[in-house]
Amino acid sequence: MAARVVTPMRANFPCRLCGGGVLFLYYTLGEGGRCRYYRCVACGLVNYDLAGGLEQEQYTRIHLDPADDSQPSNRDNDQAFSFLARHLPTPGRLIDIGCGNGRLLLMAKRAGWQVKGLELSASMAAHAAERVGCEVLTDDFLQMQPAPGDLEAFDVVSLRHVIEHLSDPLLVMVKIRALLRPRGWLLVEMPNIEGWSKRWVRFIVRTGLHTRHFPPDFAAGHACEYSRQSYGKLLGRSGFRLVRWETYSKKSLANWLLARFPIGTKARALAQRD
């Protein structure tokens, strides 16, 4: 008989945002619950136990044309640009971290912005640069050293469904500050770990009403999971002011409601550097 795997109810590592030492098991993923997420009682950040391993290449395998208006994922990027344009109607200089196929860069460029991208995947970076017609760097954001001309040079830094993949939240903000002009803007999109449907799934799994099944090779991709509470604390510790937080979906009616009642599973936030 196979030995029963015992999942620790408390983490054996400190919170990666506030350094707190009390983190309780919040949920698990993967067969046997081998990917474990712990919530910090002090700041609310949900920390993944990195001992379970992270896999990021799964997000860069499909190269879609950023100029294809029929692609649903491109339309998601259009929502992000529309949000940005509503709050910042005057074009400036923008860098998109984890720019993917470059759709946001393309939309911003068409509107008169000076744009630049960064991608972890060399093939994705080359694809985006060719299709958009702008510079796209290939680098690991947490490891990169900005070119002298990029220091405090951007009006907007955007990270769309990127920040949750990065394991050092405070270093992320240091890197962002290095790129942003004083009073510059940060646009972030991320999962909302306290969204209604995520709460419901955790409840039915925890109570045994539902059992989740995973492929044998499942690997976690998110290092940190944020809510409005924990993201606000990250901004406060980093010298940023939260200007707007809203949740959203792909459906227009639901999107209208979720922007006003932030219970959705995807969040969009605009913050300003001091």
**d(C-alpha 257, C-alpha 248), whole Å:** 8
112-146 as b/e: b if 16+ CB within 10 A:
ebebbbbbbbeebbebbbebbebebbbeebeeeeb
Give the residue from 167, 157, 118, 162 showing the smallest Cα distance to 240.
Answer: 157
Backbone dihedral angles phi then psi of residue 94, each to the nearest 5 degrees: -130, 140
Other C-beta atoms closer than 10 Å to the C-beta of 74 total 20
List, in order of start, the domains of the chain with CATH numbers: 66-192+227-273 (3.40.50.150)
Angstrom distance (rounded) from CA 270 to CA 132 = 24
| Burial degree of 69 (CB within 10 A; 0-12, 13-18, 19+) | exposed
Total-model pTM: 0.94
Give the position of tokens 């196929």: 101
Check residue 2 and give its pLDDT: 42
Query: For residue 188, what pLDDT is reported?
Result: 98
List the 154-160 sheet strands across, edge first: 135-138, 114-119, 93-97, 154-160, 180-191, 266-273, 240-248
Sign of CA dihedral 7, 232, 229, 158: negative
Q: With the CA atoms of 116, 121, 126 and 128 taken in that order, what torsion angle do they form, in degrees rounded to the nearest 10?
A: -50
Residues of the chain with pLDDT under 50: 1-3
- The pLDDT, as a whole number, for residue 6 is 67
Give Cα separations from 29 to 13, 25, 40, 48 (angstroms): 19, 12, 18, 10
DSSP state of 151: T
